[in-house]
């Protein structure tokens, strides 16, 4: 059972790992709507969600994806600007862009956490028990979701 849950968590995290604005292998853009649908589909299968729960989850995670788009764009621009600052040895700009990236990352983390809280609140007690045992716990939209130890079951 533990191996199955680890495998399920690995599949979820692999499918949702790439940020929506970044081109994966082959240069094709990820579709944020497809990423959310895949996430909800995995959660629906793992937790046996009802149709009403699936609809709520889809809305929760779609809204979170949309809300974090502004911050993904800001991070992308700041990273590009930081590369120019690195080449120019402009230490003040490097510091500024690093703070900008950190702030945007924090905002995205908060958006993801609020979405997780909203999703958790729609689960039954039995579903919460299953969800709590999931490696990675359905994370995948925001930065920080792939931190060390995320793939290990919580003790």
pLDDT digits (tens, 9 = 90+) for 8-55: 444 343 444 434 444 444 443 578 889 999 999 999 999 999 999 999
Residue 155 in any domain: the answer is no
Indicate the number of domains in the chain. Answer: 1
pTM of this structure: 0.67
Looking at residue 137, its pLDDT comes to 61
Residue 65's Cβ-count burial label (10 Å; 0-12, 13-18, 19+) is buried
Q: Is the dihedral of CA 94, 139, 51, 114 positive or negative?
A: negative
Q: Name the residue range of residue 116's domain.
A: 2-19+32-138
Q: 33, 16 in Cβ contact below 8 A?
A: no
3-state secondary structure of 144: coil
Q: What is the mean pLDDT of the chain?
A: 78
Backbone torsion region of residue 153, taken as left when φ is above 0, otherwise alpha when ψ lies between -120 and 50, otherwise beta: beta
């Amino acid at each position: 059972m533990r191996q199955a849950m680890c495998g399920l968590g690995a599949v979820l995290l692999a499918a949702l790992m790439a940020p929506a604005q970044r081109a994966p292998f082959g240069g094709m853009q990820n579709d944020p709507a497809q990423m959310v649908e895949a996430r909800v589909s995995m959660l629906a299968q793992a937790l046996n969600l009802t149709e009403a729960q699936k609809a709520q989850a889809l809305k929760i995670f779609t809204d979170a994806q949309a809300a974090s788009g502004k911050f993904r764009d800001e991070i992308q621009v700041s990273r590009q600007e930081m590369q120019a600052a690195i080449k120019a040895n402009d230490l003040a700009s490097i510091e500024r862009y690093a703070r900008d990236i950190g702030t945007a990352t924090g905002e995205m983390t908060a958006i993801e956490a609020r979405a997780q809280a909203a999703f958790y609140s729609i689960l039954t007690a039995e579903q919460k028990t299953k969800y709590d045992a999931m490696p990675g716990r359905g994370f995948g939209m925001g930065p920080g979701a792939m931190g060390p130890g995320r793939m290990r079951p919580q003790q």
